C-alpha cells in the first residue's frame, strides 16, 4: 500500500520522507507526493539473501535488488497516485527519490549516497526508478558510508522507502543551511548542479534578517529537464556574471529556513527550488557537522608563490602527497594519506574519503553533498580552486587548511 507523503513516518517511509511530512502538515510549500514504503522493499527482497550477496560484493547485492519487483497490488495503485499529485504545468513528470532508514539522521546524513531519478513519467518509468533507488542502498558508496557509521547492538538491517513527488522545473535551485546565520548557495536550473558540486554556486550569508555577504560563483553549466531527459547546457555569459537570486529571494528563503528550524527543532540542511517565483522545499535534513565560521571575502582564488586559496569547506589541517584524480579509472592510484585533487567529487567517490587525508576541488560549494560528507569524515576540504588539477603538481606535498581555505605547497 502506498502512503500519502503528508502521512509519512520514519519507520515506514525513511529519513527523507518523514521531515517532509511534518513540513506538509504545517502548511510549508512542499511538492505533493506519495511514498513507496519500506515494507514494499522488504516484501520484494523477501526471498533474496541480500546480506549474503553483499558479502560477495556490493555490485552483486545491487544486481539482485534491481531485479526485484514491486508487489502487483502496490504497483496497481501508482497510476491513481500519480494523477493525484500531477500539476497543471508539469505534464505528469515526477522526481523519484530514495528515503532510506539510514539517511538524514541527527548524526549522519548519507548525503548523495542513494539515488534520485528526475524527469520520470508514467507507471512503468516510476517502477524502474523505484528499483533503481532500492538498488542504490547497496551501491559501493552507500555500503562504504554505512561501514563508517556506528551500528548499535541489535541494529536492524538497512531498509529503504522511495518518495515520488511532483517535479519542480526550477528556474533557480540550491541549498540552505539554517542556524544563527543562514548560508545559501544557488545556481540556475535544477539543484543537481549545486548538490553534486559540478558548479561553483553563488552564495549568501544572512544574519539578523539582513544579507551580510554575497559572492558570485562560476556558474558555467545548468541542468534542466527537456522532456523525459535531464540535460546539461551552457549558461549564457550574461547569466554567469550576475547573481541568480535577488536579495528579496534570499530573505524569503531565510524566513522559510527559520520556520523549518523552529518546526523541526534544530538547524537543518534544506534543498529548495524556485519556479515561476514560488519557493518549494524539496528536502530537509539535520546539519551534522559545523561549517567554517565565516565565508570567504571573495569567491575567486588568489595565488601567491606556492599558496592557493579557495572556499573553506571542512575544518582541520592535513598534509600529504598530491594525487590528481580525474575519474573512477584513477581510484586505484589513491593511497592512504594522499591529498585528493579533482575537478569535482561525485557521491561515487565516497569510498576514497576513508583513505585520503584531505580534499581539494576545482568546482563546488560549501553545501554540496561532497563537502557535507567530507565534514562528517573530519576531512580538511578546500573547494573552488580553479585549475587545481593542472596547477597542483602530482606527487608534490601540500598542506590543506580546511578552515582558512588555503592550500600550501610545502615541497615540489
Q: Which of 114, 198, 268, 369 is catalytic?
A: 369
Contact 3, 34 (CB under 8 A): yes
- What is the per-residue pLDDT for 62? 79
Q: Which residues contact 302 (CB under 8 A, 6 or more apart)?
A: 308, 309
Q: Residue 119 in 3-state DSSP? A: strand
In this prediction, residue 298 carries a pLDDT of 38
Give the phi and the psi of residue 142 in degrees, each rounded to 5.
-70, -40
The SS3 of residue 374 is helix
Helix (H) or strand (E) holding 372: helix 369-376
- Cell numbers 573512477 label which residue? 328
- Nearest to 176, CA basis, from 270, 315, 277: 270
- State yes or no: is 213 an active-site residue: no
- Collapsing DSSP to helix, strand or coil, 311 comes out as strand
Q: Three-state secondary structure along 49-111?
A: CHHHHHHCCHHHHHHHHHCCCCCHHHHCCHHHHHHHHCCCCCCCCEEEEEEECCCCCCCCCCC
Give residue for cell 527482497. 45
**Domain residue ranges of the chain, discontinuous segments joined by +:** 3-166, 172-286, 303-411
Cell of 178: 539554517
As a whole number of angstroms, the distance between CA 314 and CA 292 comes to 7
Residues with Cβ < 8 Å from 262, sequence gap 6 or more? none
Query: What are the residues whose beta carbons fall under 8 Å from the beta carbon of 24, sequence distance 6 or more?
Result: 5, 6, 30, 32
Give 361's strand partners: 342
Half-sphere exposure of 289 (CA within 13 A, CB side): 23
Cell of 336: 592512504
- According to DSSP, the β-strands at 116-120 and 221-226 are unpaired
Whole-model pTM: value is 0.90
Residue in the block written with cell 544486481: 63
Q: What integer pLDDT is reported at residue 76 of this predicted model?
A: 96
Residues near 292 by Cβ (< 8 Å), separated by ≥ 6? 312, 313, 314, 315, 366, 402, 403, 405
CA 62 – CA 79 distance, rounded (Å): 27
10-residue block means of pLDDT along the chain (412 residues)?
96 94 97 97 87 69 85 95 81 93 74 87 96 90 77 68 97 96 97 92 96 94 92 96 97 98 96 97 89 51 62 91 94 96 83 93 88 87 92 93 91 76
Coil vs helix vs strand at 178: coil
Q: Where are the alpha helices (DSSP H) in 109-190?
A: 123-136, 140-147
Rounded to the nearest 5 percent, the helix, strand and coil shares of the chain are 30, 30, 40
Q: 303-411: what CATH class?
A: alpha beta
Task: Kindly give the pairing relationship between strand 116-120 and strand 172-177.
Answer: unpaired
Of 171, 273, 259, 255, nearest in space to 206 by CA? 255
Topology given in CATH for the domain delimited by 3-166: Dna Ligase; domain 1 (3.30.1490)
d(CA 362, CA 344): 6
* Strand pairing report for 210-215 and 202-207: antiparallel
| Domain 172-286: which CATH number of 1.10.10.60, 3.30.470.20, 3.30.499.10, 3.30.365.10 | 3.30.470.20
CA max distance for the chain: 66
The 8-class DSSP code of residue 292 comes to P
Q: Which helix (H) or strand (E) holds 286?
A: strand 278-286
Amino acid at each position: 500500500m502506498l502512503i500519502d507523503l503528508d502521512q509519512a513516518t520514519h519507520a515506514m517511509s525513511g529519513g527523507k520522507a518523514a521531515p517532509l511530512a511534518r513540513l506538509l502538515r504545517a502548511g510549508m510549500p512542499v511538492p505533493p507526493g506519495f511514498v513507496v514504503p519500506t515494507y514494499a522493499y522488504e516484501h520484494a527482497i523477501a526471498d533474496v539473501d541480500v546480506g549474503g550477496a553483499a558479502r560477495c560484493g556490493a555490485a552483486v547485492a545491487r544486481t539482485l535488488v534491481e531485479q526485484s519487483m514491486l508487489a502487483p497490488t502496490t504497483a496497481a495503485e501508482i497510476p491513481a497516485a500519480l494523477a493525484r499529485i500531477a500539476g497543471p504545468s508539469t505534464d505528469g513528470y515526477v522526481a523519484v527519490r530514495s528515503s532510506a532508514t539510514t539517511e538524514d539522521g541527527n548524526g549522519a546524513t548519507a548525503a548523495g549516497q542513494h539515488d534520485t531519478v528526475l524527469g520520470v513519467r508514467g507507471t512503468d518509468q516510476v517502477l524502474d526508478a523505484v528499483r533503481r533507488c532500492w538498488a542504490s542502498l547497496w551501491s559501493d558508496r552507500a555500503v562504504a558510508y554505512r561501514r563508517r557509521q556506528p551500528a548499535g547492538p541489535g541494529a536492524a538491517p538497512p531498509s529503504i522507502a522511495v518518495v515520488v513527488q511532483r517535479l519542480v522545473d526550477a528556474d533557480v535551485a540550491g541549498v540552505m543551511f539554517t542556524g544563527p546565520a543562514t548560508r545559501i548557495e544557488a545556481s540556475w536550473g535544477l539543484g543537481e548542479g549545486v548538490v553534486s558540486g559540478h558548479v561553483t554556486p553563488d552564495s549568501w550569508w544572512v544574519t539578523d534578517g539582513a544579507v551580510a555577504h554575497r559572492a558570485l560563483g562560476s556558474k558555467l553549466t545548468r541542468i534542466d529537464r527537456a522532456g523525459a531527459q535531464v540535460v546539461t547546457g551552457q549558461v549564457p555569459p550574461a547569466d554567469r556574471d550576475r547573481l541568480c537570486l535577488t536579495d528579496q529571494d534570499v530573505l524569503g528563503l531565510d524566513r522559510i529556513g527559520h520556520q523549518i528550524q523552529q518546526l523541526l527543532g534544530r538547524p537543518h540542511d534544506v534543498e529548495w527550488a524556485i519556479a515561476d517565483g514560488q519557493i518549494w522545499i524539496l528536502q530537509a535534513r539535520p546539519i551534522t557537522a559545523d561549517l567554517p565560521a565565516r565565508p570567504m571575502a571573495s569567491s575567486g582564488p588568489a595565488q601567491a608563490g606556492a599558496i592557493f586559496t579557495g572556499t573553506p569547506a571542512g575544518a582541520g589541517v592535513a598534509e600529504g602527497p598530491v594525487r590528481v584524480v580525474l575519474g573512477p579509472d584513477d581510484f586505484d592510484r589513491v593511497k592512504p594519506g594522499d591529498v585528493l585533487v579533482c575537478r569535482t567529487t561525485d557521491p561515487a567517490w565516497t569510498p576514497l574519503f576513508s583513505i585520503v587525508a584531505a580534499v581539494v576541488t576545482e568546482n563546488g560549494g560549501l553545501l554540496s553533498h561532497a563537502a557535507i560528507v567530507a565534514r562528517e569524515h573530519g576531512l580538511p576540504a578546500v573547494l573552488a580552486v580553479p585549475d587545481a588539477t593542472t596547477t597542483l603538481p602530482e606527487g608534490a606535498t601540500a598542506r590543506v587548511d580546511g578552515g582558512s581555505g588555503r592550500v600550501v605547497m610545502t615541497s615540489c
